[in-house]
Amino acid sequence: MNFDTRTIIDLTTLYLDLIEDLKKTIKDEQLFSENIEQYDYDIFVNSIEPLLKDKIKFFLKRNLKEVGLPILKGIVDINNIDYKIFVNEIQKNNT
């Protein structure tokens, strides 16, 4: 797992509202995608990636300063996140 993925997973787990929002987004999209005849997890992750990027970008802009980590804003690259790992981790999170 790369630095960007691990950092975002750790940051998002600190915010229950964000985790719940991400889980709901993933679940809703997965329900929709599973109704398609040729469901493929890789295609699902690629299709949901823009939604997750937007949510993460908004979270980073709004919350990094609040938690005292504004330095991460320039270090973490949301385009370098492995979204397959990210989605799996969010779904496993039982908070």
Per-residue pLDDT for the chain (95 aa), expressed as one digit of tens each? 899 999 899 888 888 888 999 999 999 888 887 777 777 888 889 889 999 999 998 888 887 777 677 667 778 888 999 999 999 999 887 54
b (16+ CB within 10 A) / e for 7-40: bbbebbeebeebbeebeebbeebbeebeeeeeee
Q: How many domains does the chain have?
A: 1
State which residues form the domain around 16. 3-92
Q: What per-residue confidence (pLDDT) applies to 53?
A: 94
Q: What per-residue confidence (pLDDT) applies to 94?
A: 55
Q: What per-residue confidence (pLDDT) applies to 86?
A: 94
